[in-house]
Chain A
Amino acid sequence: MFARGIKRKCFDGEEDIEGTLAGFKAIPSYNLKRQSLLDMSLIKLQLCHMLVEPNLCRSVLIANTARQIQEEMTQDGTWQVINAQNTGQASLDQLASSDILCRSTKEQSDGKLIPSYSSFSKDFEDIQSQDIISDLSTVTSVQASRNPQGNVWEMENSPENRGNFQKSLDQIFGTLENKNPNSVEDLFSDVDNSYYDLDTVLTGTMSNTKMGHCDVLESFSSQTTTNSNINELDHIILHF
């Protein structure tokens, strides 16, 4: 199973980041676990973001961890890119984390979601209820569909995708910023926004109703600063 001479790497705290790419590819479980860790990190960020006042230290540490994983994945070419024109089921399944960021309960209940969402949402619920690291089979079903997407997209779009990921993390901190204004003007200028955001969260409505991956990424790259506050939360709402 493993190439001769390559040390089998134990994921928990002992992997050697400076190992070769060949080493990584020869151990599929490492990628799987790394992806699970990334998913877990993003879920944690979302959940702690849902708290009215998140623990800033914890949020920063989780975000840094997620960013680190994403950077490594970008470096060794496993960071998957969703092309705007590609609406195939496989590609939609790949960006599992963004899906978490973007789904709305309204669409789920209305049955508007395409089948891949439904299957993923079930998978996600499974992941939620079980130990993520141990239940590799669930993640495998998602991962298996990754391979058809060639590295072409990754290499071409990785810098942009890195920016997109960075933006999604930034947006999380952006909304943290909104909740903690540091001047009187900010205090008052943010009141309406935060109330709107809270309202949005509670009612589960979002301004962008077409929540396919493509739309999400398009809106990522077309952020305007004026509506940034509202758009930020739109993309960071987590619903089950």
Chain B
Amino acid sequence: LGLCCAPSCYPVPLSSEAGGGERSWILVCWLLVSTQVTLLSMEEDIDTRKINNSFLRDHSYATEADIISTVEFNHTGELLATGDKGGRVVIFQREQESKNQLHRRGEYNVYSTFQSHEPEFDYLKSLEIEEKINKIRWLPQQNAAYFLLSTNDKTVKLWKVSERDKRPEGYNLKDEDGRLRDPATITTLRVPVLRPMDLMVEATPRRVFANAHTYHINSISVNSDYETYMSADDLRINLWNFEITNQSFNIVDIKPANMEELTEVITAAEFHPLHCNTFVYSSSKGTIRLCDMRASALCDRHTKFFEEPEDPSNRSFFSEIISSISDVKFSHSGRYIMTRDYLTVKVWDLNMENRPIETYQVHDYLRSKLCSLYENDCIFDKFECVWNGSDSVIMTGSYNNFFRMFDRNTKRDVTLEASRENSKPRAILKPRKVCVGGKRRKDEISVDSLDFSKKILHTAWHPSENIIAVAATNNLYIFQDKVN
């Protein structure tokens, strides 16, 4: 896996919390996920993990398997994990700060790459199970090793990523190459000693949680008790204990007795960040249900039900589709939830169920294009949304490699673009604007010129700093703020 980072020209001071609308964002790293590049990197010396820039720029090496399908920072922000359509997980590690190379802070290098899921074939149903990684969730670090959950449509796996920098040398029964020694030649006894070796990062699957989902898993969420987690598919949510792989508890089941009556599916689910008994799940009808696991074993009856009444003036045949929630995220404080539907991002106060407290238009200019977007299936795209560390700014993606940030305090928003053509390393990202009608200004782009094949579905925000990761097809961009 290659890393393409241009050297910076000036040191970047530590960020202070301020609105995303006022800040300037600069490109820190651009990383191209490519199968071919990965194969090459495995043969190279570990010390030279950086690959020739010119090789990376050859996009012909990109394949569909390299499309990034999930991005997630760990709890400290030191690691950034991506999953792709080919079932691989790539973990990036933040460059350590050093006095000599202050400018390199904020850059991420490849730390580990492994094949998490393989394509499977369900022989009973004659179905191929995609290896695409739908979600990655980190566990909080409890020892020297890192743990993460990764899932495809059917199976969740717990991976342990650990470093090895010593190896035992001086075995009695085998020589340095590992070949067994002739016992007749052994005349002395020695104790093997640990000697330093080149750092090796290895990933091992510690648990495989399989055969619990009939439908496609769309979400996983680690509980704040760090002992359990949940996995949600279209119709059911299961609760797992990390130690037990052959059993899970079903806590939500919305499958109707008669499938012909099915009109609503689960689209996303998440545990409350602080209360281990509380979780939410969203539906294709634009509703969010908050459930308390203490109330009953099967949480089919919600504790709270969040739904905004429909706006009659905006009603159309597409109203339900665009109200379908594609992502739901608790704020770090646990006081709010954010939901993403096709055209908007909404912030809800847990104490108010009848409407959101804030609504942000992501790309309202698409409202008049819904029929075309229905025809080309773009209307079913599932965009994700993220909070920043202080819950003051929210971010989500759009088309044409645009992504949007909304400052909840200043009410300012900005549209930025993640593309190689438009961002030089360390150059400040220029805000973009979509022209909705009338005269198009020089820097604006008209709605009809938008490239709907370039969609930013997955983004991530560092837990405490203003560093963001944006996935655009098989490219991963890391941006950092630059305080003016």
Q: Do A and B bind each other?
A: yes
Interface-lining segment among A87-95, A155-163, A179-187: A179-187
Q: Is B55 an interface residue (CB 8 A)?
A: no
B324 touches A179 (CB 8 A): no
Q: Is A58 an interface residue (CB 8 A)?
A: yes
Known: A10-B368, A13-B370, A56-B265. A170 touches B260 (CB 8 A): yes
Q: Which of A66-108 contact B (CB under 8 A)?
A: 68-69
Closest to B312 in A: A18
A57 touches B316 (CB 8 A): no
Residues of B within 8 A of A195 (CB): 126
Residues of A within 8 A of B125 (CB): 53, 179-180, 194
Q: Is A17 an interface residue (CB 8 A)?
A: yes
- What is the bound-complex CA distance between A68 and B216, given in angstroms? 26
Q: Is B128 an interface residue (CB 8 A)?
A: yes
Known: A40-B375, A60-B284. A13 touches B368 (CB 8 A): yes
Residues of B within 8 A of A177 (CB): 259-260
Known: A64-B263, A182-B214. A13 touches B375 (CB 8 A): no
**Distance from B299 Cβ to chain A, minimum over Cβ atoms (Å):** 19
User: What string of 1s and 0s marks CB contacts (under 8 Å) between A164-208 and chain B?
Assistant: 000001110110110111100001000100110010000000000
- What is the bound-complex CA distance between A143 and B10, given in angstroms? 68
Residues of A within 8 A of B284 (CB): 57, 60-61
B259 touches A65 (CB 8 A): no
A198 touches B368 (CB 8 A): no
- What is the bound-complex CA distance between A63 and B260, given in angstroms? 11
A180 touches B215 (CB 8 A): yes
Q: Which of B304-335 contact A (CB under 8 A)?
A: 312-318, 320-321, 324
Residues of B within 8 A of A33 (CB): 371
A57 touches B371 (CB 8 A): no
Interface size on B, residues (CB 8 A): 39
Q: Is A27 an interface residue (CB 8 A)?
A: no
- What is the bound-complex CA distance between A180 and B234, given in angstroms? 12
Q: Which of B81-124 contact A (CB under 8 A)?
A: 124
Q: Is B249 an interface residue (CB 8 A)?
A: no
Residues of B within 8 A of A198 (CB): 126
Q: Is A215 an interface residue (CB 8 A)?
A: no
Closest to A40 in B: B375
Contact among B127, B260, B315, B380 for A16, CB-based, below 8 A? B315
Closest to A17 in B: B315
Closest to B233 in A: A56
- What is the bound-complex CA distance between A173 and B234, given in angstroms? 14
Q: Is A14 an interface residue (CB 8 A)?
A: yes
Known: A65-B321, A68-B317, A68-B320. A57 touches B267 (CB 8 A): yes
Residues of A within 8 A of B265 (CB): 56-57, 60
Q: Is B367 an interface residue (CB 8 A)?
A: yes
- What is the bound-complex CA distance between A234 and B157, given in angstroms? 40
Q: Is B255 an interface residue (CB 8 A)?
A: yes
- What is the bound-complex CA distance between A44 and B378, given in angstroms? 13
Closest to A178 in B: B259
- What is the bound-complex CA distance between A230 and B249, given in angstroms? 34
Contact among B260, B314, B371, B375 for A173, CB-based, below 8 A? B260
Residues of A within 8 A of B255 (CB): 182
Residues of B within 8 A of A60 (CB): 262-265, 284
- What is the bound-complex CA distance between A34 and B371, given in angstroms? 11
- What is the bound-complex CA distance between A11 and B369, given in angstroms? 10
Residues of B within 8 A of A32 (CB): none
Q: Is A12 an interface residue (CB 8 A)?
A: yes
- What is the bound-complex CA distance between A177 and B234, given in angstroms? 13
Q: Which of A1-16 contact B (CB under 8 A)?
A: 10-16
Contact among B259, B312, B369, B380 for A12, CB-based, below 8 A? B369
Known: A133-B375, A179-B125. A13 touches B318 (CB 8 A): yes
A52 touches B314 (CB 8 A): no
- What is the bound-complex CA distance between A92 and B446, given in angstroms? 44
- What is the bound-complex CA distance between A53 and B126, given in angstroms? 9
B317 touches A187 (CB 8 A): no
Contact among A11, A55, A61 for B371, CB-based, below 8 A? A11
- What is the bound-complex CA distance between A21 and B11, given in angstroms? 67
A65 touches B317 (CB 8 A): yes
- What is the bound-complex CA distance between A52 and B234, given in angstroms? 17
- What is the bound-complex CA distance between A80 and B182, given in angstroms? 90
A40 touches B374 (CB 8 A): yes
- What is the bound-complex CA distance between A173 and B264, given in angstroms? 12
A13 touches B372 (CB 8 A): no
Closest to B265 in A: A57
Closest to B264 in A: A60
B127 touches A53 (CB 8 A): yes
B368 touches A61 (CB 8 A): no
Residues of A within 8 A of B124 (CB): 187, 191
**Distance from A230 Cβ to chain B, minimum over Cβ atoms (Å):** 16
A56 touches B215 (CB 8 A): yes
Further contacts, 20 of them, CB under 8 A, given A13-B371, A53-B216 = A12-B369, A14-B316, A14-B367, A16-B315, A33-B371, A37-B317, A37-B374, A40-B374, A52-B126, A57-B234, A58-B380, A60-B265, A61-B320, A63-B263, A64-B263, A68-B317, A131-B372, A173-B262, A174-B259, A176-B259
The 27 listed contacts between A and B (C-beta, < 8 Å) are A12-B316, A12-B368, A12-B371, A14-B367, A33-B371, A34-B317, A37-B371, A37-B374, A53-B125, A55-B216, A56-B234, A56-B265, A57-B234, A57-B267, A60-B263, A60-B284, A61-B321, A65-B320, A65-B321, A65-B374, A131-B375, A133-B372, A171-B260, A173-B259, A174-B259, A182-B255, A198-B126
* Residues in chain B within 8 A of chain A (CB atoms): 124-128, 214-216, 234-235, 255, 259-260, 262-265, 267, 284, 312-318, 320-321, 324, 367-372, 374-375, 377, 380
* Residues in chain A within 8 A of chain B (CB atoms): 10-18, 33-34, 37, 40, 44, 52-53, 55-58, 60-61, 63-65, 68-69, 131-133, 169-171, 173-174, 176-177, 179-182, 187, 191, 194-195, 198
